[in-house]
Amino acid sequence: MTNQLRLVAAVVEKRVVLLRRYWVNTLMRVVGMYATFAVVFLGGRSLGGADAEATLDVIVVGFFLFLATSAAYFDVAGSVMREAKWGTLEQLYLSPAGLGRIFSVTTVFNIALSSGLALVLLALMVVTTGRSVSVDLLTVAPLLVVTILPAIGVGYAVAGLSLLYKRLENVQQLLRFGFAGLIAAPGAAGDPLSPSSRSAPEATSSPSQCWTERDSGSFRPPNSSRCSSLAPATSSAATSSFCIWSSELATVA
């Protein structure tokens, strides 16, 4: 077995042992994420009434994207903080594999674990909502990569600051709301996917068309190169929301 394979095996074994030893914490993490989604989805449906049905699919996809992003961020930042708290960070510096290689393997495993957890929660979301969500891996995978990579960078930045200032748990919690705001920003600008907008069913049923709704009550293609270049590459409702938002900004400009 080569040194790289030994490193991967050691990282996987360590993470599995920690998950099994603190299984109650792992279970409560999954239950907490699912409970948060249930509150958001069921609360939005009860408050919005019949008009909110058009945006429920967007809520499902957006919440899944939020889970994948926040999980990647917290796992990356938390792994560095835990090593520093346990006093093993210095040992990793002295390891023959090198600190950078160890954290790179740990990050890849954390992303795979977080993505698997997010897929399990997505299945629970589908069961709860009674809606079918078609997933095309060839189009969703690039979207997840583009979304998760910045979260990893932010996680390492916060981890580096935690080594200087020791305790930054409150900063971590504030950044969770920041991720939620960035994911919801495309839908908030110009309110393209409001419950009363006819763009919502168009976005969830045929996101690649990326139509925009005008005051005249008819649909017409947007004059936005960003929309036309991004829409064929993805088929998620979150990306279609971004396309509609960017086309609205281009029209105003």
| pLDDT, position 54 | 61
Please report, for the chain, the start and end positions of each structural domain, with discontinuous segments joined by +. 3-188, 200-252
For residue 50, the model assigns a pLDDT of 58
| Residue 68 neighbours by CB under 8 Å, 6+ apart | 114, 115, 118, 144, 147, 148
Confidence of residue 24 (pLDDT cuts 50, 70, 90): very high
From 174, 149, 171, select the one nearest 160 (Cα to Cα): 171
* Structure letter (DSSP) for residue 78: H
Q: pLDDT, tens digit, for every residue of 199-214?
A: 444 444 444 444 344 4
d(CA 30, CA 113): 12
**CA–CA separation, 133 vs 111, rounded Å?**
22
pLDDT confidence of residue 231? 34
**pLDDT tops 60 at residue 88:** yes
Residue 97 has pLDDT above 90, yes or no: no
Average the pLDDT over each of 51-60, 79-88, 191-200, 224-233 and give the range with the smallest value. Answer: 224-233
Q: Output the CA–CA distances (angstroms, integers) from residue 31 to 56, 145, 174, 178, 191, in the order listed.
A: 21, 25, 21, 22, 31
Q: Which of 116, 33, 63 is nearest to 236 (CA)?
A: 63
